[in-house]
Amino acid sequence: MQYRTLGRTGVQVSTLALGAMNFGSIGRTTQDEATAIVDGALAAGINLIDTADAYSRGESEEMVGKAIAGRRDDLVLATKAYLPMSDERNHRGSSRRWLITELDNSLRRLGVDHVDLYQIHRWDPATSDEETLSALTDLQRAGKIRYFGSSTFPAYRIVQAQWAAREHHLSRYVTEQPGYSILQRGIETHVLPVTEEYGLGVLVWSPLASGWLSGAIREGREITTSRAAFMPQRFDTAIPANRAKLDAVEKLAAVAAEAGLTMIQLALGFVTAHPAVTSAIIGPRTMDHLHSQLAAADTVLSAEVLDAIDAIVAPGVDLAADEKSDTPPALLDPALRRR
Supply the residues annotated as catalytic.
55
Q: Which alpha helices (DSSP H) does the chain contain, by range?
A: 31-43, 59-68, 96-110, 129-141, 155-167, 191-198, 226-230, 240-259, 263-273, 287-294, 303-312, 329-332
Q: Which of 175, 220, 185 is nearest to 316 (CA)?
A: 185
Q: How many angstroms separate the CA atoms of 228 and 226, rounded?
A: 5
**What is the DSSP-derived secondary structure letter of residue 159?**
H
Phi, psi of 334 (to 5 degrees): -55, -30
- 38, 70 in Cβ contact below 8 A? no
Continuous segment of H or E residues that includes residue 79: strand 76-81
**What is the DSSP-derived secondary structure letter of residue 186?**
G
**What is the DSSP-derived secondary structure letter of residue 318?**
B
Burial 302-330 (b: 16+ CB within 10 A, else e): eeebeebbeebbeeeebbbeebbebeeee
Q: How many angstroms separate the CA atoms of 33 and 283, rounded?
A: 13
- 49, 78 in Cβ contact below 8 A? yes
Q: Which of 25, 125, 27 is nearest to 326 (CA)?
A: 125
Q: Which of 206, 154, 200, 156 is nearest to 176 (CA)?
A: 200
Q: How many angstroms separate the CA atoms of 94 and 102, rounded?
A: 10
DSSP 207-222: TTGGGTTSS---TTS-
